[in-house]
Structure 1
Amino acid sequence: MEYSLEDFENYTKNHLLCENSDRLPQLTEEIYLQITQSRQTSKVLLAERDPTKFLASFIAACAAGYPVFLCNPDWGQQEWQQVLSLVQPDIILASDLEKILFNSQNTPTTNYQLPITNPIMIPTGGSSGKIKFAIHTWETLTASVTGFRKYFQVQQVNSYCVLPLYHVSGLMQFMRSFTSGGKLVIQNFKQLEQEIYHINSVNFFISLVPTQLQQLLQARVSDRLAQFQTVLLGGAPAWNEILAEARSKNISLALTYGMTETASQIATLKPEDFLQGKHNCGKILPHAKVEICNAQNQIGNIKIQSASLALGYYPNIFTKAELTLDDLGYFDAQGYLNIIGRSSNKIISGGENIYPVEIEAAIHNTQLVKDICIIGIPDRHWGQAVTAIYVPKSTTSITTLQTTLKNKLSKFKIPKHWIPLTTLPRNSQGKINRQHLQQLATTLLQEKSL
């Protein structure tokens, strides 16, 4: 990494806007001196919620050349015990240090040494119950930035960040702006309706997940969203209802496909295509290559090669510089990537292959539910029974939902079981914890049959 502590400090003084950002250069120096007191290379665990403290800690660790593990400060006891057992950090940078240290008791001592210079470990997989750290470096992250700039044909990337910085979607907004000399605004999402920082939004990218977009549309701030150069939307599949509303408000949405392992997006639908009615993942960015694992090049698992690809999952290194995913997709005649779901989420009912994303979109479009998740429950007659777990609107009945879907879906795709809840378990990126819902639905349906 060719950047020095002074480079970081000059950037934050002239290009960063966030609460207490004026304190960041001094705070960075203090943390840098604190962590470099030890002569040996130390593993740094970073779990700061406050953006200023996070950036100061991240910059200090990178400038010192230490391996740094980004962590969610809101993890619970089970997650912290799992992470601390795996990482065995030498330095912990966190405001809620007592909570983390309490969970570090009785963890086995294992010390892994990576054959990589200055690794940056980014968490992934928390919603499935097992947290992993994708191993990145400054080079893999900047490769993603290079592809982004070429794809959007911009020299400087100005970012308006309302996502957590420990997550790849938040961290990459800092990386794009810093390495390109662009401006970076960091603001709490709940305050986005208020125009705290007076900037020219037309020159800024903003990244959202679908649930955030829905909240902003409901809060009637679509006029402000429409002012942004581009609204990057990713993290989870978006339903047609909010996409149609965003299109009607002339919001420059760019639907993205990517993941922690690829340092954010590798495919993006440009706003001009979105506004013309397209709703796929768009074209592949120049730093990546995507193949469909299927002899006929139809629907199949997605295989990725990219300069931004993680080197492995800590502490293991990938044996190949490629990654085959659980995601299923295909390229259409225009070369746009289309994602239809995950092979692990596929439901086989009565010999028919059923993909939840199609049913979820159809139910969302009825405007009769607030939230929806489709899963398959074991069934002695059908193999699996399509099951809808949903948050109903006040006047919605199951009969109404079933009747509305008759002309929208094939009969075998209409859910056989309907389970209403007051809320669905989603993480900060809007992804549903399907494992939890699978267990919940199985238990509820067993109790109902007794």
Structure 2
Amino acid sequence: MQRPLAYLNNYTEYDWLIGYNSRQFQELTAQLYLELTPLLANKTPPKIILAEREPVRFLASFIAACAAGCPVFLCNPDWGKQEWQQVFNLVQPDIIWGMGHRAWDMVRQRCKEKCLARVPRVVATSGRVSLRRRLRTRRGHENNNQCPMPNHIMIPTGGSSGQIKFAIHTWETLMASVQGFTEYFELKQVNSFCVLPLYHVSGLMQFMRSFTTEGKLAITSFKTIESGQKYQINPSDFFISLVPTQLQRCLQNPQLTEWLAQFQTVLLGGAPAWSELLEKAKFHQIRLAPTYGMTETASQIATLKPDDFLNGKIGSGQILPHAQVTIRNQQGKILSSHQIGNIIIKAKSLALGYYPQIEENQDYFSVDDLGFLDDQGYLNIIGRNSDKIITGGENIYPIEIESAIRSTQMVADVCVIGVPDQHWGQVLTALYIPQNSNTSNLEIQTLLKNKLSKFKIPKYWIPQQNLPRNSQGKINRQQLQQIAKKFLHNLS
């Protein structure tokens, strides 16, 4: 398997980074690598926080850190004070690339509060790398954050719950995901059009697929796409990755819908897609590929191919070659096709654990999702076990109810949660954004009577102007519980 710099050398005369200066990327990567090299004489390589906002600097920093064998933590430059405090306390970095001045002021303040004798050096990757050695504490304040990890890539996850974790990956686990992807789609070269964050696994893997297959990579923001600015590319040669809320907004714009229909493949993941959205995409002949995967598996481990989607197949598709999926009951017994149970994943792309703990002999990953495999090996997701609502002894999965509510076309967005209740255990509560100001929840409930059993129709309806979703479209259910609690308290 080639290492990062070997791939970089393949691009010496190739303008592959669309919209940016490919030569600048190569030069900056080489410069950063050479400046990191002298620091590797120490037994422990420096820990690097990577929070660059500018794409070329982010990618150059990432490749340089990987090539030098430095443990690198990918971070969102837009995290707030609370998130940065979590990250800094967990990582205690030696080098910080990027990050805004306000966040850096917070870092310095935390150093004082922790009585740290030295602090990491913040540098922009356009200048020389500067390092102050590993944080050392004053007497009486021990640094308990052991386990520096050379050659490891830490990718953030868990932000939607408010607690940031880092899944531990390596160049090899990321490459296993790339190889599974190219084999599944029978490709030698992958061209990617990226509108997702590079610090997130969904954006990073688009870069990895293109960079390691000598493909082309276009990077822009989704806001830029919505404004009508598009790169001069042939979409039929490109993969684009979207989350459901982005797809929904594209399909509300006729010009974007026409543009999206030209892509070779539109990968859809990050959050469950509702049936109405999928039907609309099919109507417009969008070559959609619904996917199933997560940060811990270095992106997708199951994907529905576009031709299957357009021919009416549903679900998350077949398992990619680098992964295996079994469905088991609570006792661990493997279930037959069409039997619903816990999803267990074995994959070459599987993370080694969560920083700072590497899990020994972690061959399988048990996820919170419930699903089943059909006779052809297609994976179907039923819902998250932790999202399951038990009301009056009935097990209810929100995704079914949310899909039915969306199909009324009277809401712009919706999330169904269970609110504690002394009599029923939990009662169904819908937090929704009305399609217009005249929308009545009584009208929605009337339309639902022909779609859902009576016990599946929410008792409480709470209109909102916005629902708390992260950049991948995942809902923050903890925050919704707080909103619902306050709303219901005011009713009593």
**Does the pair score TM above 0.5?**
yes
| Identity fraction in percent | 63
- Range moving further from structure 2, 235-244 or 304-313: 235-244
Q: Provide the C-alpha distance between the structure 2 equivalents of 1:76 and 1:330, rounded to a whole number of angstroms.
A: 39
- In structure 1, the partner of 2:86 is 82
Q: CA deviation at 1:11?
A: 2.6
- In structure 2, the partner of 1:430 is 473
**After the TM superposition, which residues 47-446 of structure 1 pair with which residues of structure 2 at under 5 Å, given as runs?**
47-106=51-110, 108=114, 109-114=143-148, 117-193=150-226, 194=228, 196-220=230-254, 221-294=256-329, 295=333, 296-297=335-336, 298-319=339-360, 320-394=362-436, 395-446=438-489
Q: CA deviation at 1:95?
A: 4.7
TM-score by length of 1: 0.95
- Range moving further from structure 2, 295-304 or 166-175: 295-304
Q: Provide the C-alpha distance between the structure 1 equivalents of 2:108 and 2:369, rounded to a whole number of angstroms.
A: 35
- CA 1:142 to 1:6, structure 2 compared with 1: closer, same or farther past 3 Å? closer
Q: Provide the C-alpha distance between the structure 2 equivalents of 1:273 and 1:196, rounded to a whole number of angstroms.
A: 28
Cα deviation, 1:420-441, whole Å, max 9, x if unaligned, reads 1000000000000001101211
Q: CA deviation at 1:278?
A: 2.1
Q: Is the 8 A contact 2:10 2:214 kept in 1?
A: no
Q: Is the 8 A contact 1:425 1:433 kept in 2?
A: yes
- Range moving further from structure 2, 41-50 or 101-110: 101-110
Q: Is the 8 A contact 1:371 1:392 kept in 2?
A: yes
Q: Is the 8 A contact 2:192 2:218 kept in 1?
A: yes
Q: Provide the C-alpha distance between the structure 2 equivalents of 1:28 and 1:101, rounded to a whole number of angstroms.
A: 28
Q: CA deviation at 1:409?
A: 0.3
Q: 1:302 is paired with a residue of what secondary structure?
A: strand
Q: CA deviation at 1:215?
A: 1.1
Q: Is the 8 A contact 2:84 2:103 kept in 1?
A: no
- CA 1:292 to 1:4, structure 2 compared with 1: closer, same or farther past 3 Å? closer
5+ unaligned residues in a row in structure 2: which ranges? 115-142
Q: 2:15 is paired with a residue of what secondary structure?
A: helix
Displacement over 4 Å in runs of 4+: none
Q: Is the 8 A contact 2:340 2:372 kept in 1?
A: yes
- CA 1:192 to 1:269, structure 2 compared with 1: closer, same or farther past 3 Å? same
Q: Is the 8 A contact 1:18 1:52 kept in 2?
A: no
- CA 1:426 to 1:170, structure 2 compared with 1: closer, same or farther past 3 Å? same
Cα deviation, 1:226-273, whole Å, max 9, x if unaligned, reads 111100000001112221111111110000000000000000111111
Q: Provide the C-alpha distance between the structure 2 equivalents of 1:21 and 1:134, rounded to a whole number of angstroms.
A: 29
- CA 1:9 to 1:57, structure 2 compared with 1: closer, same or farther past 3 Å? farther
Q: Provide the C-alpha distance between the structure 2 equivalents of 1:217 and 1:311, rounded to a whole number of angstroms.
A: 38
Cα deviation, 1:174-228, whole Å, max 9, x if unaligned, reads 1111111111111222222545422221111110001111111112211111111
Q: Is the 8 A contact 1:311 1:321 kept in 2?
A: no
- Range moving further from structure 2, 179-188 or 406-415: 179-188
- If you compute each CA radius of gyration, which structure gives the higher value, 1 or 2? 2
Q: 2:431 is paired with a residue of what secondary structure?
A: strand
Cα deviation, 1:40-78, whole Å, max 9, x if unaligned, reads 311110001211111111111112111100001111111
Q: Is the 8 A contact 1:80 1:104 kept in 2?
A: no
Q: Provide the C-alpha distance between the structure 1 equivalents of 2:72 and 2:144, rounded to a whole number of angstroms.
A: 17
Q: CA deviation at 1:99?
A: 1.7
Q: Is the 8 A contact 1:345 1:355 kept in 2?
A: yes
- Range moving further from structure 2, 331-340 or 349-358: 331-340
TM-score by length of 2: 0.88
Q: Provide the C-alpha distance between the structure 1 equivalents of 2:414 and 2:144, rounded to a whole number of angstroms.
A: 42
Q: Is the 8 A contact 2:4 2:63 kept in 1?
A: no
- CA 1:150 to 1:419, structure 2 compared with 1: closer, same or farther past 3 Å? same
Q: Provide the C-alpha distance between the structure 2 equivalents of 1:8 and 1:210, rounded to a whole number of angstroms.
A: 33
CA RMSD of aligned residues (A): 1.7
Q: 1:387 is paired with a residue of what secondary structure?
A: strand
Q: Is the 8 A contact 1:240 1:361 kept in 2?
A: yes
Q: CA deviation at 1:21?
A: 4.2
Q: CA deviation at 1:139?
A: 0.5
Q: CA deviation at 1:380?
A: 1.3
Q: Is the 8 A contact 1:86 1:110 kept in 2?
A: no
Q: Provide the C-alpha distance between the structure 1 equivalents of 2:108 and 2:191, rounded to a whole number of angstroms.
A: 39
Q: 1:308 is paired with a residue of what secondary structure?
A: coil
Q: Is the 8 A contact 2:4 2:66 kept in 1?
A: no
The amino acid of 1:393's aligned partner reads: Q
Q: Provide the C-alpha distance between the structure 2 equivalents of 1:119 and 1:254, rounded to a whole number of angstroms.
A: 30
Q: Provide the C-alpha distance between the structure 2 equivalents of 1:289 and 1:349, rounded to a whole number of angstroms.
A: 34
Q: Is the 8 A contact 1:35 1:91 kept in 2?
A: no
Q: CA deviation at 1:18?
A: 2.9
5+ unaligned residues in a row in structure 1: which ranges? none
Cα deviation, 1:306-350, whole Å, max 9, x if unaligned, reads 000000000111232211111111112332111111111100001
Cα deviation, 1:68-110, whole Å, max 9, x if unaligned, reads 0000111111110010111111000005255234235335544
Q: Provide the C-alpha distance between the structure 2 equivalents of 1:384 and 1:86, rounded to a whole number of angstroms.
A: 36
Q: Provide the C-alpha distance between the structure 2 equivalents of 1:312 and 1:350, rounded to a whole number of angstroms.
A: 38
The amino acid of 1:308's aligned partner reads: S
Q: Provide the C-alpha distance between the structure 2 equivalents of 1:76 and 1:95, rounded to a whole number of angstroms.
A: 11
Q: Provide the C-alpha distance between the structure 2 equivalents of 1:34 and 1:163, rounded to a whole number of angstroms.
A: 29
The amino acid of 2:52's aligned partner reads: E
Q: Provide the C-alpha distance between the structure 1 equivalents of 2:440 and 2:36, rounded to a whole number of angstroms.
A: 59
The amino acid of 1:445's aligned partner reads: L
